[in-house]
Amino acid sequence: MSGPVNVRLSDDGKAVIIVDQSALPGELRYLRLETLDEMYEAVKTLRVRGAPAIGVFAGFALCALSAGMDKDADFKNRFLEAAERLSSSRPTAVNLSWACRRMTEACSRAICSGSEIDAALLAECTSIYEEDVFMCSAISSYGLSLLKPGMGVLTHCNAGPLATSRYGTALGPLILAAEKGIPIRVYADETRPLLQGARLTAYELMEAGVDVTLICDDMASWVMSRGLVDACFVGCDTVALNGDTANKIGTSAVAILAKHYGIPFYVLGPTSTIDPSCRTGSDIRIEMRPWEEITSLYYSRPVAPEGVKCLNPSFDVTEASLISGIITQHGIALPPFEESLPALIKK
What is the model's pLDDT at position 257?
Answer: 98
Is 156 found in the same domain as 27? no
In a domain, 234, yes or no: yes
In a domain, 216, yes or no: yes
> Where do the H-state alpha helices sit in the chain?
36-44, 51-67, 75-87, 94-109, 114-144, 172-179, 196, 202-207, 220-225, 251-261, 292-295, 337-346
Task: Among 137, 159, 178, identify where a domain stops.
Answer: 137
- Report how far residue 24's alpha carbon sits from residue 12's, in angstroms, rounded to the nearest whole number: 27
What mean pLDDT is predicted for residues 149-169? 96
Is 205 found in the same domain as 124? no
In a domain, 1, yes or no: no
- CA distances to 76, 184, 279 from 161, in Å: 33, 18, 30
Catalytic annotation, pick one of 118, 189, 230, 237:
237
What is the model's pLDDT at position 166?
Answer: 85
Is 286 found in the same domain as 162? yes
- Report how far residue 82's alpha carbon sits from residue 160's, in angstroms, rounded to the nearest whole number: 28
Is 174 found in the same domain as 69? no
Give the CATH number, domain containing residue 313. 3.40.50.10470
- Spatial CA neighbour of 247 closest among 148, 177, 326, 178: 326
Is 162 found in the same domain as 120? no
Is 321 found in the same domain as 287? yes
Task: Among 137, 164, 192, identify where a domain stops.
Answer: 137
pLDDT in tens, 174-200: 999 999 999 999 999 999 999 999 999
Mean pLDDT of the chain, nearest integer:
95
| Residue 93 pLDDT grade (very low, low, confident, very high; cuts 50, 70, 90) | confident
Is 124 found in the same domain as 66? yes
pLDDT in tens, 298-332: 999 999 999 999 999 999 999 999 999 999 999 99
Q: Is 244 considered catalytic here?
A: no
Contact 234, 157 (CB under 8 A): yes
Is 202 found in the same domain as 84? no
Query: Count of alpha carbons within 13 Å of 269, Cβ hemisphere only?
Result: 29
In a domain, 58, yes or no: yes
State the residue range of the domain holding 177: 138-346
Is 93 found in the same domain as 213? no
pTM for this model (two decimals):
0.92
**C-beta neighbour count of 120 within 10 angstroms:** 19
Is 87 found in the same domain as 122? yes
